[in-house]
């Protein structure tokens, strides 16, 4: 069915998560853990890694379709930084709509990652025909 809305998926993101992601990715830019460095760079505070936002979006999609290999293409446009306050972290909500299959059976999935009312990232993914969407 065209425009099928998938259930929202929420992820809590804390400064501790940013430190863990920095260690895993090797991206130790201090804007991801130091308020001083972030404000010196002109940011309102510490921001999450863009690739972490993209990874959480991909995680939500693979949970929905039930198959890690079901994603054939993933393109993300970052709209705003993911601000991660020191005291409470933030909640990233991923929502998505899936379109009708094309002639080859592939479907386009459009996902948004939001922190509150702020659109952080917009993604388009192509999923293979056998991928589930009834989750």
In a domain, 59, yes or no: yes
pLDDT tens digits, one per residue of 88-129: 999 999 999 999 999 999 999 999 999 999 999 999 999 998
pLDDT (tens digit per residue) in 5-58: 999 999 999 999 999 999 999 999 999 999 999 999 999 999 999 999 999 999
Beta bridge partners of 9: 94
CATH assignment at residue 75: 3.10.129.10
135 pLDDT higher than 90? no
- Residue 99 inside a domain? The answer is yes
Task: Domain count for the chain, please give it.
Answer: 1
Q: How far apart are CA 66 and CA 116, in angstroms?
A: 27
Please indicate, yes or no, if residue 25 is contained in any of the structural domains.
no
pTM confidence score: 0.91
**Would 119 be classed as within a structural domain?**
yes
Q: Single out the residue of 68, 65, 78 nearest to residue 107, CA to CA.
A: 65
pLDDT at 116: 96
Residue with tokens 């592939």: 106
- Is the C-alpha dihedral spanning 73, 21, 37, 116 positive or negative? positive
Identify which of 60, 40, 51 has the alpha carbon closest to the alpha carbon of residue 18.
Answer: 51
Q: Could you tell me the residue range of the domain that residue 110 belongs to?
A: 4-13+48-127
Domain contains 42: no
Rounded to whole angstroms, the Cα distance separating 127 from 111 reads: 12
């Amino acid at each position: 069915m065209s425009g099928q809305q998938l259930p929202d998926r929420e992820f809590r993101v804390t400064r501790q998560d940013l430190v863990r992601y920095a260690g895993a990715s090797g991206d130790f830019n201090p804007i991801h853990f130091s308020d001083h460095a972030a404000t010196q760079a002109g940011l309102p505070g510490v921001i999450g890694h863009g690739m972490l936002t993209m990874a959480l979006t991909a995680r939500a999609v693979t949970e929905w379709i039930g198959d890690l290999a079901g994603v054939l293409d993933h393109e993300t446009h970052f709209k705003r930084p993911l601000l991660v306050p020191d005291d409470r972290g933030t909640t990233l909500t991923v929502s998505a709509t899936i379109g009708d299959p094309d002639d080859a059976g592939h479907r386009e999935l459009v996902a948004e990652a939001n922190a509150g009312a702020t659109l952080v990232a917009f993604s388009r993914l192509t999923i293979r025909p056998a991928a589930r969407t009834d989750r």
